Amino acid sequence: MGLLRASDRWLYRGGHPNALARLLNRGWATAAGAGWAPRSMATLEVVGRTTGAPVSLPVVVADYGGDDYLVSMLGDEAQWVRNVRAADGHAVLRRGRREAVELHEVPAALRGPILRRYLDLAPGARAHVEVDRRAPDAEFVRVAPDYPVFKVTRS
């Protein structure tokens, strides 16, 4: 495992961001929300399921087949995934402007090619997904149930 890959895993040890990752996420969320980050990045805002307060975090938006998708590199237990599910998919994406969206979970059987595209766009996620981005399609199908994918629908 390379040093960069190891550091990416260290930032999210135990499936949760450590203090440094939270700081970096705040910076990326600010940049993405203001429209200063690459086009594939955005800030996701969703209501926290326990606090009721808005939670913001940077996300990579994977474009595939003419639609946009969000992928959880940390799996089902990622806090944003749990918050999106509790909010019935209602969220906001910011890329220079705020856009109300609905996030609809994609069935596991359809996630493979979206997961591949996500790994092409999100180098930081590669350390967390148990398949190489150049792996055969069958490998993506095998791991797809472990990584929630949400289709972005504009409200």
What is the reported pLDDT for 31?
63
Cβ atoms 83, 55 nearer than 8 A: yes
CB-CB neighbours of 38 under 10 Å: 11
The per-residue pLDDT for range 115-145, each reduced to its tens digit, is 999 999 998 888 889 899 999 999 999 999 9
User: For 54-79, how does the pLDDT look when each residue is reduced to its tens digit (9 = 90+)?
Assistant: 999 999 999 999 999 999 999 998 99
pLDDT bucket at 4, cuts 50 / 70 / 90: very low
- Between CA 88 and CA 155 the distance in angstroms is 13
Domain that holds residue 120: 3-154
Task: Supply the CATH number for residue 92's domain.
Answer: 2.30.110.10
Total tally of structural domains belonging to the chain? 1
The model's pTM:
0.82
**Among candidates 106, 107, 128, 126, which has minimal Cα distance to 116?**
126
- Separation CA 8–CA 24 (nearest Å): 12
CB 70 within 8 A of CB 62: yes
Longest CA pairwise span in the chain (Å): 42
What is the rounded end-to-end Cα distance, in angstroms, of the chain? 42
